[in-house]
Amino acid sequence: MGGLLGVSINISNLYHTYEYSKETMRGKSELTQKTKDAADQTDSGLERSYITHYSYGVSETWTLLVPNIKGGGSGNLLTNPDAQDAMRPEYRDIYRQFGGLNQYWGGEEGTVGPVYVGAFVLMLFVLGLFVVRGPMKWALLVATVLSITLAWGRNWQWLTDLAIDYLPMYSKFRAVESILVIAEFTIPLLAMFTLKRFYDEPDLLTRSTRLLGLVEVKNTWLVALSFVLTGGVALLFYIYPSLAGSAFIEGGQEYAVLNGYVEQGMPRGVLDNIAEMRYALVRPDAMRSFLLVVVGTALLLCYCYRKISGNLMVALMAVLCLFDLWSVDKRYLADGMFQKPVPAEQQFQKSPIDEMILSDTNAYYRVLNLATDTYNDNSTSYYHKSIGGYHAAKLRRYQELIDAYLATRPTPRSEIVVLQTYVDGVELESLASGRMPSLDSIPGDSLLPVLNMLNMRYSMVPYRQQYVLPVFNPHANGNAWFVREVRYVDDADAELAGLKQLDTKHVAVADKRFKTVLGETENHLVQSDSTGTAVLTNYEANELQYDVESRDGGVLVFSEIYYPGWTCTVDGQPVEIGRVNYVLRAIRIDGGKHKVVLTFKPRSERITETIAYSALALLALLLVSLLVRSVVRARK
């Protein structure tokens, strides 16, 4: 009952997140002809390489015991005090030329910090595998092992593939290492079961335990074995830090660059010294973990030998674990990181280029910023409606359009190459008048069809690696326009491919299943009025209003992304929305003057909100009834 209430109260968020996921990169694509490796695809989810991009290294798992076993979090190795103590003086000048080396050398490109559960907590977990009884122990062990091995991702690809193919929803997750949260729960839980058994049975240390029903072993030996498997291993890392693995990511970019320097004459001793500096980060943490296990084990033995009370033992262990985890956490969340909020205006300073673009009185255009990481940076959106940006759950349809035509890295069909080539040909002298460069000389209807249909009126383009130029695009299609021809194709693959060299201002390409929505005449011609106009009069996140006027009507294309749930009315009457150009909305409209309204208010929202509020009211009634019942009982 409680679980049902909990789901019902949150049903709106749960359902709509589920619905949205089907339209994102975590959903199934309409495309059948993949441009990427077929073996990398999943049936309905992210690509395997994308899922396993952040995979925990196998040897990196020792961070559960020693947090700095792989250098901790990403940072500059050359500024770390422990590393500086191990730096050889004869190589200091060489290191100054590097500028920086990453102190983290685990299995990923970088990380904020390691996954650490506490040295003594891990010791109690290992001990619990021997002394805790019942099926719960085995369930926690299996969950822990599965969590760790799945976190290895591409390092154990066969297991990851099994999870992706057969574990529901697993292919939706971005980073496999996030599954370590299970181990971070199961390890302390079994450690608490272990501590509880010793607390309830003070003489447990003097007894024996039958392991797997085969052999009797004194519990003192089991404590000693657990100590060796945790504290002893930490001590080994202190003595021989190279046991943590190579101080370089073999085959990584850093290793290749450093080897290149060696081939150019840099002393090979530099590589050895870098390893020494990195291992210098391991030793202090290894000794720290060893001492924590020693102290924790000593407290346990003192209780078992009646030197301290059980309550005192638990209190001291709580202080020990708090000190352990708090001190590691403070490395990555220090007091200096807490600051007063910075006003947005100070975070996003308006540049002269922003000023030039914002001088345009037309508020409904889009900007493409190539001077930043276009599809992983949201700063452009503070002042402009951006073609780029970032979202953790990107719309798959739009991402596929980017991959096909708008990738910032040169591709055979990338329109970005055309734009950059044009800007590279601009002479600085022509800018002296203060006028913005314009794409007048580019036949935009043939070379920039995708950017035009996305209403890219301005772009910010790097110029000769020193400047950023604002560029005006006079060929942008606008917010909505009538097309004179709709070319129907067999499937989504042909629809996406059909955008190449398409005059999107006058011609649209659509999947044939939208024929009944958009209509057709002989030779696919749509009798549209080329002088028809559509003016966007109101723009909200969930509602857009247009004043449309045309003589003959026809197919009206909107520069808005097609997404299920949007509805359209023409003069208050519902009209079905079709899809053209793979990503855009379109409707069929008659001639004359009309008021067109696009709205996003799905019926499912009203239904799920009703369920949620009803469940919330029921929960409130249950709480009130329980309160009344308790008062009545108290009076009796």
- Which is nearest to 329 in space by CA: 190, 174, 184? 184
Of residues 371 and 597, more confidently modeled? 597
pLDDT value at position 37?
A: 63
> How much is the average pLDDT of 146-166?
91
Of residues 430 and 315, more confidence is placed in 315
β-pairing verdict for 507-511 and 485-489: parallel
- pLDDT mean across residues, the chain: 86
Residues of the chain with pLDDT > 90, as a percent, come to: 41
Model pTM score: 0.78
540 to 429, 536, 544, 585: CA distances (angstroms): 41, 11, 6, 16
Interval 279-301 mean pLDDT: 94
Q: How far apart are CA 629 and CA 626, in angstroms?
A: 5
What does the alpha-carbon distance between residue 59 and residue 106 come to, in Å, rounded to a whole number? 8
Find out whether 194 and 128 touch, Cβ atoms under 8 Å: yes
Bigger pLDDT: 150 vs 440: 150
Quote the pLDDT of residue 428. 59
**pLDDT higher than 90, residue 148:** yes
Q: Does residue 223 carry a pLDDT above 50?
A: yes
Which sequence spans correspond to the domains of the chain?
Answer: 37-328, 352-427+434-472, 480-601
For residue 129, what pLDDT band results from cuts at 50, 70 and 90? very high
Find out whether 100 and 78 touch, Cβ atoms under 8 Å. Answer: yes
DSSP secondary structure string for all residues of 222-291: HHHHHHIIIIIHHHHHHH-GGGG--SS-TTSHHHHHHHHHHHTT--THHHHHHHHHHHHHHHHHHHHHHH
Closest CA to 376 of 365, 362, 392: 392
pLDDT surpassing 70 at residue 251: no
Q: Are 562 and 495 in contact (CB under 8 A)?
A: no
**Which residues are CB-neighbours of 333 under 8 A, at least 6 positions away?**
none
Query: Which regions of 376-421 does DSSP assign to beta strands (E)?
Result: none
Confidence label for 525 from pLDDT (cuts 50, 70 and 90): very low
Q: What per-residue confidence (pLDDT) applies to 291?
A: 96
Q: Tell me how far apart the alpha carbons of residues 62 and 560 are, in angstroms, rounded to a whole number.
A: 50
* Percent of all residues in the chain with a pLDDT value above 70, rounded to a whole number: 93
| DSSP designation for 395 | B
Q: Which of 597, 599, 575, 595 is nearest to 587 (CA)?
A: 575
The two three-digit tokens of residue 389, written as one number: 């940006």
The C-alpha R_g of the chain, in whole angstroms, comes to 32
pLDDT of residue 586: 95
Question: What local confidence, expressed as pLDDT, does residue 522 receive?
Answer: 44
The answer to whether the CB of 446 falls within 8 A of the CB of 503 is yes
3-state secondary structure of 488: strand
Instruction: Judge whether 293 and 230 are in contact, CB under 8 Å.
Output: yes
Average pLDDT of the residues in 290-295: 96
- How many other C-beta atoms are found inside a 10 Å radius of the C-beta of residue 230? 27
Over residues 405-417, mean pLDDT: 75
How far apart, in whole angstroms, are the C-alpha atoms of residue 377 and residue 67?
31
* pLDDT given at position 413: 63
Least confident of 25-34, 401-410, 589-598: 25-34
Residue 170: predicted pLDDT: 86
Residue 526 has pLDDT above 90, yes or no: no
Q: How confident is the model at residue 145 (pLDDT cuts 50, 70, 90)?
A: very high
Take residue 375 and report the two structure tokens written for it: 């599809």
**Among the listed residues 474, 585, 601, the one whose alpha carbon sits nearest the alpha carbon of residue 534:** 585
Q: Which residue has the higher pLDDT, 39 or 532?
A: 532
User: What are the tokens at 216?
Assistant: 């009797």
Q: Which range has the worst mean pLDDT, 49-53, 230-234, 493-497?
A: 49-53
Strands 366-369, 456-463: pairing is parallel
Pull the structure tokens for residue 29: 């694509």
3-state secondary structure of 598: strand
CA distance 619 to 51: 39
Query: Can you name the residues that pair with 2 across neighbouring β-strands?
Result: none
Measured distance CA(448)–CA(456) in Å, rounded: 10
Segment 86-90 mean pLDDT: 85
Of 406-410, 479-483, 561-565, 574-578, give the lowest mean pLDDT range. Answer: 406-410
Q: Distance from CA of residue 599 to its chain's centroid?
A: 29
Q: Tokens 């073999």 belong to which residue?
A: 250
Compute the distance between CA of residue 447 and CA of residue 443 in angstroms, rounded to an integer.
Answer: 6
In the chain, the amino acid numbered 271 is L
Quote the CA–CA distance of 377 and 389 in Å, as a whole number.
Answer: 5
H or E element that contains 600: strand 584-600
pLDDT in tens, 305-324: 889 999 999 999 999 999 99
Range of weakest confidence among 49-53, 194-198, 608-612: 49-53
- Rounded to an integer, the average pLDDT of 153-165 is 90
Q: What is the per-residue pLDDT for 284?
A: 93
Helix (H, G, I), strand (E, B) or coil at 145: helix
CA distance 281 to 70: 8
pLDDT band at 139 (very low <50, low <70, confident <90, very high): very high
* 3-state SS assignment for residue 9: helix
Label residue 429 by pLDDT band (50, 70, 90). low
Distance, CA of 485 to CA of 479 (rounded, Å): 18
pLDDT level of residue 524 (50, 70, 90 thresholds): very low
DSSP label at 633? H
Which residue, 379, 344, 385, is CA-closest to 362?
A: 385
Q: Which tokens is 629 given?
A: 């019942």
Most confident of 81-85, 120-124, 466-470: 120-124
Q: What is the pLDDT of residues 541-578, one digit of tens each?
A: 899 999 999 888 889 999 999 999 999 999 999 999 99
- Predicted pLDDT at 34: 60
Q: Which residues contact 457 (CB under 8 A, 6 or more apart)?
A: 360, 362, 365, 366, 367, 472, 473, 476
Picking from 121, 102, 107, the residue whose alpha carbon sits closest to that of residue 230 is 121
| Mean pLDDT, residues 326-343 taken together | 84
Vertex 60 angle, CA 155 and 95, to 5°: 110
> Would the pLDDT of 477 be above 60?
yes
Q: Can you give the pLDDT at residue 523?
A: 45
pLDDT band at 538 (very low <50, low <70, confident <90, very high): very high
